Structure 1
Amino acid sequence: MKEQDGDLGFVKGDILNIIEMKGDWWIGENDKGERGNVPANLLQKYNKYITIQKDDAEEEEEEEEEEAGDGDTYPRKKRHGKALWGSIKKAVTETTVSDVLHAMGAVPSGFRMSTLSKYFNESDTYRMINYLNPKLSVSNLMYKDLFFDPLTSKIRPRKVKIERIVTLVSCQQIPHPGSGIKLLSRHVRICLFDGQNILSNIHTVKVSDKNLEERTWLFSTRIFERMNISEHGETFIRTNSIVDNIGILFELGISYIREERPDVTHTFHFKRMKINDRKTSTEQKDEFSCGWVHLPLLDQDGTFVANRTFNLYVNGGTPYEKGVEVDPSISRRTSTNAFVSLISGNKQPRLVVRISLPKTEQKAQLDSLPDILVGNVALLPFYSYFRQIMADVLLRDRIDLDSTELVHSPLLANFPNVADQPDLMKVLRDAWIERLKTVERSQKPSFFSSYSRLRDEEFMKNLFKQVFMESVYPVVHTVLLPKYKTGDTDTEQKRHEQICHFDQIKRDRKSALAALLSSEMVFTPFNIKEVSFNVVGAHCMLKHTHTASVEG
């Protein structure tokens, strides 16, 4: 059922996730990630336990059988066997996937369902869109973290108390899941954490080694053309929050798909038996945490850690659990035998990470960013360009700074939403590198003349806007591009196909505009939000940046 563009087609029995409820038409999303308008009068709340509840109701009617003996004054109620099975069935149904896999021995007992993956995918609270956008002050009359310096005609630098470069070196002795689990990808999620609350956005780094059987995870720190952005192991952190026990939370994770037992068939041919050991997929996908590490950013004497390499033991369970080992079969407890203790320690899961101060060039770019942010070092120039352009649009070029009217700027409206989507940021970076090859040396920023530097910086900012509009903006609004979901390899593959499809059309027609007008591309219905920035939007309100406790 789909009457016009913008509607979401569905049939009776479909299960939709309601994104927004306004009036008689709501915005829904189906299991394929497609969104659109749906009539509210044709929907009813979905109860996933309806089958169990119906079965229990029927069983309650059967279990009340009255049996009165010859001398009985009161009838006795006989409880049917189905009633006992009903409570067991409900308990089994409510058992989590993690419990089932632990019971099967498919994963070590210290593995848990990923905590940071759930937070990242369920809302925008811990994504860059909620941190790159400027925040209004308590009075809502001005921005608290975005200022323009008229003397330099640039954004005013924001100095913070903690600013570090975090380099993932390796993860060692990470247990491999057992039979029934097929690994799809491995990664490390990073955020600021105080032991109870998440204090920043969540950033993800993928393992560069493609051999999924290795117990050692390796990361790439080299920056080069056509690099895989998601596998870059250098991360920057910024924060002005100095709370007790503030540090960096590392969550080691794997994406997986469950497999059924091998199908064993017997074929007799020339008196020999043939065994077919093909495994069939259950299509049940999820993400496990292989452990976590909380690295405090303050030493015991109160100084901030810097220029040090840490070799840290990985804890099992969730960040809320204490004293859980990843794999209890290899105990971390010390032994009286020094050799046994040494061997046991070498088998423990560990994370090797290096904390260092930013370089001079990185420092200048970091100072243009918000007070709290965690991100990819390879993408640092793009975040800096975005913030500088934001200061120009909102503070320098606006006629009425007190006006709350929408500001026309497709870059401000779209960049924060794609800033932590590595596939689209790779598209932007590749297009930017190719465009820079055509720029004359005289147009690039020079440090010999202040006038020349200012002129060239304006040129580079305009070039950045142009590259973004030609490379990323069209792809974001294609109909067939699935919503980004970290850890979902199928979604990543579908997104990759759509990105390559648009890139191929653009190269064949030798123009981004020609690709936009191509009949081979189908775009979502135009919405004013695509090209306008709301100065009092939800992500600009200070109250939107709350913290959340990690669930146990």
Structure 2
Amino acid sequence: MPPRRKGAFQLAKKEVDETEKQVMVQSLIIQTDYFIKKSVFSICSQADELAPVGNYEQRKQEEEKRLQNILDRLNTLSLELSPPGPSTDASNISTEDSGDEDDEDSVEDEDEDKDDEVDEKLAVKPPSQSDPRIYKVLSDFQGEQDGDLSVQKGDLLRIVRRAADGWWLAQDSKGKRGVVPKTYLKIIFMLIVIGDESKNNHVYLYFNSKTPQSNWSTLRKALTEIDATDVLSAMGAIPSGFRPSTLNKLLVEEGVMYRGSHHVQPSLSQSQLSFKDLFLDVETGRVRARHVQTCLCFTLWSCRMIPTPGVGVQVLSRHVRLCAFDGNQVLSNIHTVRATYNPKSPKTWSFSPRMTGVLPSLLDGDCFLRCSSSSPDLGILFELGVTFIRNSTGERGELSCGWSFLKLTDDSGNSLPSRTYELQVNGGTPYEKNVELETSVRRGCKKKQVQSKSETIKYHLHLLSSISSSPLHLLPETLLHCLNCVHLLALHRQLLADTLLMDRPTMQNAELISSPFLSTFPVLLDQPDLLDALRGAWLEAEIRMRRTEDLSFLKQEFVKVYMSSVYFLLHSPSLPPYRWADPASEEQRAKVIYITLDSLKHVQQTTGISGSPEVFFDHTHQHLAFDLTELNFDLLGVAQ
């Protein structure tokens, strides 16, 4: 069938559509957050082929009316904002101006370095039009000769032509033109392009890049959030109800605040003169147990009927991120448990798989929660997520496949009983209500299949309200982690108390403390493979010990094992940096960890000493240069 010819109506309609895009661009200055998402998504999903026209005359009149409204709106915005969009003046710019751009850039390099870096990060290019910038007048200027443009401080100008003598031809918001000295001007708006300009699916964005009163920070944040997740959503490649991961965003943007490494550090009291949850029992010399508002254990079992992303996306990790939550804010660290699945049944996720040897803590669904919050709405937030990579671009992202919330008290304020719970998974984010999830995405289908009532999405949660394991009460007041690491965390807590409460000259002394163990141990909570390495090394050492060994001996041996295994690994040049859901990095790290631990076993067998430091002097292993941060514990730097 021959291609459909475009008639006059189609060409007019397309021109109207292009004009409408320019209007949307101007509106971005006023309503940044709203229009950035809407306009980009509209362009991503817009079809290039025009539909057949029905009721030609009526439709023609409607398009003419729509065009007139758009032009009126554009004129109003142009007077208000003076945008530098497409202009007939572009053809009047002399070749001398293009040569002068280099002179101007050399003068303004220092002022515009940051903006150039932002442009590179956003991977955008300037359009081939006249000067795509808006300037603000810094001081009043009264024209002295014919051709001068009188301006007042704060006026916005568009530069029509730049000259080497420093007098630039400018146009104000009222359409008046004249020359002004460039020293009176400061750039505040720049133009960038999103999309492919050659395919007419781009959009022009104007943003303030200099003045502190501008929307530049808001726009920059919104623009950087237009990532693979947003594009896939616009293309319909992921199920409805999926969102960018809320908890992953907190982990990435909030630094260490929501990481386990932050929550195992000592907490200071309100007076900043003592510790809030770290005390010693004078009679036994052990850390005093602390009973908090919430202390419980639970087990993740499975998730069923979890939708999967569509074609063009490779899933790197299926996991659940969980934390203490009161409906408004996260109250603990964010802990992650990775799921396993059968390729024949990818919608069913399982936790704690049966395997030989020590179960990796990343796969362990047996967890505990300690929380000091007294909020009546306290509960556990579960966010199901996938980390993915786009096959076409290699861009990584993380999606939330839904969330569930288990409130830990009933309507009367009583704690929940110990039993198995099944919770419904909701779409959207924890701050959205009544968002449904799709069970599948079918390519080419206009209407997406929505789950029926019989296809409920559930997972199992086993809750224990009573705690029989006393080491849990030695841990910080707020912490969520896997149960298999409790004994390691308790030993760290005991050594922390010894150093801070017994070994310091006075309680007011805040000098650096020489303790490589205390300065580096918290890092292990953010690198599960190294935490597992310490568990394995300590298990080997415990097998060689007698059960009658006292606590003092255990603490000494624990530090020795740590220093000759994980501490060495932390500063090994052959260990790649930890990166979440990176198969190549995970494989390389596992190889280095295995070889190092094997060397440790060999040294122990040769010397007969558990945790021998001789591994540091083995010429077959390299070690990074030492520095103060790894050798000294900074109490003021880490205390919460």
Per the TM superposition, whether the score is higher than 0.5 is: yes
Unaligned runs of 5+ in 1: 1-40, 66-73, 76-81, 261-281, 331-340, 444-455, 542-552
Aligned residue number for residue 175 of structure 1: 307
Aligned residue number for residue 290 of structure 1: 401
Aligned residue number for residue 55 of structure 1: 127
* 2:616 paired with 1:516: yes
The 3 A distance-change label for structure 1 pair 523 and 58 is farther
Q: How does 1:65-214 map to 2 (within 5 A)?
A: 85=200, 88=203, 95-122=226-253, 123-209=255-341, 211=343, 213-214=345-346
Q: Provide Cα deviations, 1:173-196, integer angstroms capped at 9, x if missing partner.
A: 001222111122211111011112
Q: Which amino acid aligns with 1:55?
A: P
Aligned residue number for residue 348 of structure 1: 456
Query: Helix, strand or coil: the match of 1:370?
Result: coil
Aligned residue number for residue 385 of structure 1: 491
| TM-aligned CA deviation for residue 384 of structure 1 | 0.9
Q: Which amino acid aligns with 2:272?
A: N
Is the Cα contact below 8 Å between 1:183 and 1:212 reproduced in 2? Answer: no
The 2-side partners of 1:297 and 1:194 are apart by 10
The 2-side partners of 1:417 and 1:210 are apart by 32
TM-score for the superposition, normalised by structure 2 = 0.63
| TM-aligned CA deviation for residue 375 of structure 1 | 0.5
Aligned residue number for residue 245 of structure 1: 377
Q: Provide Cα deviations, 1:321-378, integer angstroms capped at 9, x if missing partner.
A: 2221121879xxxxxxxxxx9x933312222212113442x2x111101111101101
Aligned residue number for residue 635 of structure 2: 535
RMSD of Structure 2 on Structure 1 (CA): 3.4
The 3 A distance-change label for structure 1 pair 84 and 422 is closer
Q: Provide Cα deviations, 1:53-96, integer angstroms capped at 9, x if missing partner.
A: 632655859x989xxxxxxxx99xxxxxx799586265998743
Is the Cα contact below 8 Å between 1:418 and 1:424 reproduced in 2? Answer: yes
Query: Helix, strand or coil: the match of 1:419?
Result: helix
Q: Provide Cα deviations, 1:229-267, integer angstroms capped at 9, x if missing partner.
A: 21110110011102242211101111222123xxxxxxx
| TM-aligned CA deviation for residue 128 of structure 1 | 1.6
Q: Which amino acid aligns with 1:482?
A: P
Query: Helix, strand or coil: the match of 1:182?
Result: strand
- Greater CA radius of gyration, 1 or 2? 2
Aligned residue number for residue 404 of structure 1: 510
- Choose from 410, 415, 436 the match for 1:304: 415
* 2:592 paired with 1:460: no
Aligned residue number for residue 432 of structure 2: 321
| TM-aligned CA deviation for residue 483 of structure 1 | 3.4
TM-score for the superposition, normalised by structure 1 = 0.72
Query: Helix, strand or coil: the match of 1:169?
Result: strand
| Worse-matched range after superposition: 477-486 or 166-175 | 477-486
| TM-aligned CA deviation for residue 502 of structure 1 | 2.6
Aligned residue number for residue 371 of structure 1: 477
The 1-side partners of 2:314 and 2:199 are apart by 36
Is the Cα contact below 8 Å between 1:160 and 1:371 reproduced in 2? Answer: yes
Query: Helix, strand or coil: the match of 2:268?
Result: coil
The 2-side partners of 1:285 and 1:87 are apart by 23
Aligned residue number for residue 265 of structure 1: none
| TM-aligned CA deviation for residue 473 of structure 1 | 0.4
Is the Cα contact below 8 Å between 1:223 and 1:378 reproduced in 2? Answer: no
Unaligned runs of 5+ in 2: 1-109, 134-158, 162-174, 177-196, 207-221, 442-449, 607-611
Q: Which amino acid aligns with 1:258?
A: R
Aligned residue number for residue 18 of structure 2: none
Aligned residue number for residue 228 of structure 1: 360
| TM-aligned CA deviation for residue 211 of structure 1 | 3.5
| TM-aligned CA deviation for residue 464 of structure 1 | 1.5
The 1-side partners of 2:452 and 2:302 are apart by 19
Aligned residue number for residue 447 of structure 2: none
The 3 A distance-change label for structure 1 pair 221 and 161 is farther
Is the Cα contact below 8 Å between 2:304 and 2:347 reproduced in 1? Answer: yes
| TM-aligned CA deviation for residue 121 of structure 1 | 3.5
The 2-side partners of 1:540 and 1:496 are apart by 32
| TM-aligned CA deviation for residue 171 of structure 1 | 0.4
Q: Which amino acid aligns with 2:291?
A: K
